[in-house]
Amino acid sequence: MNMVENHAIIYAENIVKSYETGVKALDDITLSILKGNVTVILGPSGSGKTTLLNILALLDKPNSGKVILDGRDVSSLEEREAAMIRNKMFGFVFQFFYLIPELSVEENIMIPLMIKHPNRPISEHREKVQRILKEFHLEHKLHSYPNNLSGGEKQRIGICRSLICDPEVVFADEPTGNLDRDSSLELISLIQSLNTEKGKTFVIATHNENFLKIATNVIYLSNGKIINRE
Ligand SMILES: Nc1ncnc2c1ncn2[C@@H]1O[C@H](COP(=O)(O)OP(=O)(O)OP(=O)(O)O)[C@@H](O)[C@H]1O
Ligand SMILES: [Mg+2]
């Protein structure tokens, strides 16, 4: 094992991904995601950001190459096992929020906890949700429904949901893609404080160059390859 691998929570080696259409979305990507870093993946539309994020987060599999998570090769896990790892170790934040409209804010945030600890009493989950909402100054939205929230509020609820199981890594795909400028800047500083104050590790795929201000590691993609951009 080399040094890079040692300090990496995720190490991806020689990742190639082609879709059935013949598009080569990723072409020999090797990178490390270091604990406590904010890794920002930048690149034009179609450069492979989402594909890369999904492979690092075990939502998709490469055609070839390896993904090492905490020293363990997870490149060819069964979906069931990958889902368990995602629930235990990862949090997810999405451009379109993906809150469930029929469920309240409390219930939306609680879902990953119920999956992780199905036998614990619901009162314990409730307390956790209330605590995190308070921390994000959203306690008054506990019983609201997603359709009655602003975009910025929805995304902060999305962040609460991503953090509720205390993940090792939070993956965010274009998290400011549906936010106005002020809400975007607010979200970026929220992510920064979660990183600097709580040591949370983030991997963020985005077009938004404002993320460069909080990045500790930047990966530029172009046509499925990592490029150097000074
Ligand atoms: N499910 C799919 N089937 C076939 N081709 C796909 C699929 N998903 C993505 N692609 C193609 O793979 C390439 C990389 O797409 P990807 O979604 O990873 O890019 P991206 O950098 O996230 O783009 P954007 O900034 O628009 O979100 C593109 O050429 C895209 O058309
Ligand atoms: Mg994308």
3-state SS, residue 214: coil
DSSP tag of 204:
E
Q: Do the beta carbons of residue 159 and residue 171 sit within 8 Å? A: no
- Choose which residue among 15, 18, 19, 223 to substitute to test ligand 1 binding: the one with the highest number of ligand atoms within 8 A of its C-beta: 19
pTM of the model: 0.95
pLDDT attached to residue 230: 55
The proportion of the chain whose per-residue pLDDT surpasses 70, expressed as a percent, equals 97
- Residues 103, 144: Cα–Cα separation, whole Å: 9
Task: Indicate the pLDDT class of residue 228, thresholds 50, 70 and 90.
Answer: confident
For residues 61 and 76, the answer to whether their CB atoms sit within 8 Å is yes
Backbone angles phi, psi at 36, to 5 degrees: 85, 0
Confirm if 53 and 171 have CB atoms less than 8 A apart. yes
Which atom belonging to ligand 1 lies closest to the Cα atom of 52? Answer: 18
4 pLDDT above the threshold of 80: no
Distance, in Å, from the CA atom of 138 to the CA atom of 131, rounded to the nearest integer, reads 10
Q: Which atom of ligand 1 is nearest to the CA of 224?
A: 14
Q: Which tokens sit at 106?
A: 């409390």
The answer to whether residue 23 scores a pLDDT higher than 90 is: yes
| Mean of pLDDT values over 81-97 | 96
* Strands of the 72-73 sheet, one edge to the other: 24-34, 8-18, 64-69, 72-73
- How do 64-69 and 38-42 pair as beta strands? unpaired
Domain that residue 10 falls in: 3-227
Shortest-distance atom of ligand 1 to CA 51 = 18
**What mean pLDDT, rounded, does the chain reach?**
95
Give the domain CATH number at 201.
3.40.50.300
Q: Is the pLDDT of residue 179 over 70?
A: yes
Within 6 A (CB) of ligand 1 lie 19, 21, 23, 25, 43, 45-51, 207
H helix intervals, the chain: 3-7, 49-56, 79-89, 105-116, 122-135, 151-163, 181-198
| Total count of domains within the chain | 1
